[in-house]
Amino acid sequence: MKILVLGGTGAMGVPLVRKLQHAGYEVYVTTRSERKTEDGVCYITGDAHEEDFVKRLFVQNRYDVIVDFMVYGSIELEKRLPLLLDSTNHYFFVYEINQLLNTYKDAGGIWHEDRFRPLATAMVNLSMNMVMVQFWGIYGVILSTVLSMLFVGMPWLFHNLFQTLFERKQLVGYLKSLAFYVAISVAACGATTFTCSFIWLGDWATLFVRAMVCCVMPNVVFCAVYHKMPEFKRALHLIDKMTKGRFRIVHKMGG
């Protein structure tokens, strides 16, 4: 099985590449600096943000799996995604969900207080990788990476931020808000999946109707739950400023 890892030389990519190598997969890794090809791992020199470089990758090979650790802007990801999806059977986009927290950490300069967290997270990740890869292969490797970040890296970073930068009494309120947002998102996904499971009108009609449900239902749920919250008002106000008041309904709701 051929596996392409974009951004595979970073903190999260290196352990994954090692486990895939030991599991016997044929691994290809993009890297900006030249590296020697190892047994089972082929390093391809180039900038994975450059569209021409990525296109050349897919001219040379078709990969069974692509694991993407790159950080994209919204426009860049929108342009890149069709090419990636058309070039593989399975595409995994691994985004650092704690990137916002890391922004505060870097701005506050608390690297000393945070020095053990990456090491501990990597050790837990590696340990879980060794176990879970035996049962679920590459899916186990990706799941262990997510779990180690979710249950070790992020809680530790929460502790460091609210111990050093913010007042500790604010942590409970922040966690409650976070849990609320997660619960609403899960509920919206559940409701949408449940509704779509009853829709079958033939191949193309089913695809179209389900796509419409997926676009409409989550947003209806979010609007129903969030419409009276200050965050919702601020978001609408920002949209109204960006569109220069062209949409009256947005201006009215945000006002």
Q: Reply yes or no on whether the pLDDT at 255 is more than 80.
A: no
| CA atoms of 6 and 47, how far apart (whole Å) | 10
Q: Reply yes or no on whether the pLDDT at 119 is more than 80.
A: yes
Q: Is 252 exposed, middle or buried (0-12, 13-18, 19+ CB in 10 A)?
A: exposed
Q: What is the mean pLDDT of residues 54-68?
A: 87
Q: Provide the pLDDT for residue 38.
A: 83
Q: Reply yes or no on whether the pLDDT at 95 is more than 70.
A: no
Contact 141, 131 (CB under 8 A): no
| CA atoms of 207 and 186, how far apart (whole Å) | 22
| CA atoms of 66 and 80, how far apart (whole Å) | 13
Q: What is the mean pLDDT of residues 30-53?
A: 87
Region of residue 46 (phi > 0: left; psi between -120 and 50: alpha; otherwise: beta): left
Q: Provide the pLDDT for residue 15.
A: 78
Top-confidence residue, 159 or 212: 212
Q: Is 233 exposed, middle or buried (0-12, 13-18, 19+ CB in 10 A)?
A: middle
Q: Reply yes or no on whether the pLDDT at 178 is more than 70.
A: yes
Q: What is the pLDDT of residues 139-161, one digit of tens each?
A: 888 888 888 888 998 888 888 88
Q: Reply yes or no on whether the pLDDT at 98 is more than 70.
A: no
> How much of the chain is helix, strand and coil, in % rounded to 5?
65, 10, 25
| CA atoms of 216 and 8, how far apart (whole Å) | 36
Q: Reply yes or no on whether the pLDDT at 49 is more than 60.
A: yes
* Residue 30 DSSP one-character state: E
Q: Reply yes or no on whether the pLDDT at 124 is more than 80.
A: yes
Q: What is the pTM of this model?
A: 0.54
Contact 89, 64 (CB under 8 A): yes
Closest CA to 70 of 91, 41, 90, 39: 91
pLDDT above 70 coverage of the chain, percent: 91
| CA atoms of 233 and 235, how far apart (whole Å) | 5
Q: Provide the pLDDT for residue 100.
A: 66
Q: Provide the pLDDT for residue 254.
A: 57
Among the ranges given (39-43, 109-113, 154-158), the one the predictor scored with the smallest mean pLDDT: 109-113
Q: Reply yes or no on whether the pLDDT at 84 is more than 90.
A: no
89-93, 94-98, 162-166, 179-183: which has the highest mean pLDDT? 179-183
Strands in 17-149 per DSSP E: 26-31, 41-45, 63-68, 88-93
